[in-house]
Homo-oligomer: A and B are copies of this chain.
Amino acid sequence: MTAISKTLPTIKFLKEPTSREWVELAIANLDTILLDHSHCERKAAGVALNLMFRYPSNTKLVRELTAIAREELEHFEQVNQILESRGIQLGPLSSPPYAAGLKARIRRNEPERLLDSLLVAGLIEARSHERLGLLANNCSDRELAKFYRALMASEARHYGIYWVLATTYFERAIVTERLEELAVVESELLAVVHREPRIHS
């Protein structure tokens, strides 16, 4: 393992950077992290697709999220190829409380539901971007480090797109205020590292 002590990146949107404890847990369990990463890419495609289902009249949203869903599926395929080349069997994996905890904060009525859904999806992408960067910087496996670095740019683009969509359908002040609230929740959910190694432990 290379220096965990490298400066942790600060990602716009995120209230608190990821702890060293998570990095150590993840680096010590890269096979499980890879398998969880596969699930994350498929889930991210599912989130984009569900939003397209729910808001079929929002042309810009549909267009942008189609592109995101396609890209997530491409990454899903790439992770699965790495899993296969390493002899790691695909299979189910329990989810950490992170996504469910965020989802519980999505308000049930429209238009708040749309705003919150976009911001939660954006926050998850932002955290994925940060953590893939940490994996890239701290992982001594060159193939994986290269792979994680290659994915970082897309994750960054994705959270940018969710932000832009939020400001397309809502006033900027409203978006900023709600993002602040949800970002606090997001960081709180990660304040205590979940005992099982996951991308969002």
Contacts and interface: CB of A to CB of B under 8 A. Distances in A.
Given A53-B42, A57-B92, A74 B80 contact: no
Interface string A56-70: 111100110011011
Given A42-B52, A42-B53, A53-B42, A70 B74 contact: yes
A76 to B, nearest CB: 6
Contact of A63 (B46, B62, B70, B80): B80
A45 B42 CA distance: 12
Contact of A80 (B62, B80, B89): B62
A90 interface: yes
Contacts of A141: none
Nearest to A70: B73
B56 A49 contact: no
Nearest to A74: B70
Contact of A49 (B45, B74, B89): B45
Nearest to A61: B90
A153 B80 CA distance: 27
Contacts of A24: none
A112 interface: no
Nearest to A62: B90
B69 A73 contact: yes
B57 A89 contact: yes
Contacts of A42: 49, 52-53
A57 to B, nearest CB: 4
A77 B73 contact: no
A127 interface: no
Interface in A26-66: 39, 42, 45-46, 49, 52-53, 56-59, 62-63, 66
Given A49-B49, A66-B80, 10 more contacts: A42-B52, A56-B90, A58-B90, A62-B80, A63-B80, A66-B73, A66-B76, A66-B77, A70-B74, A70-B77
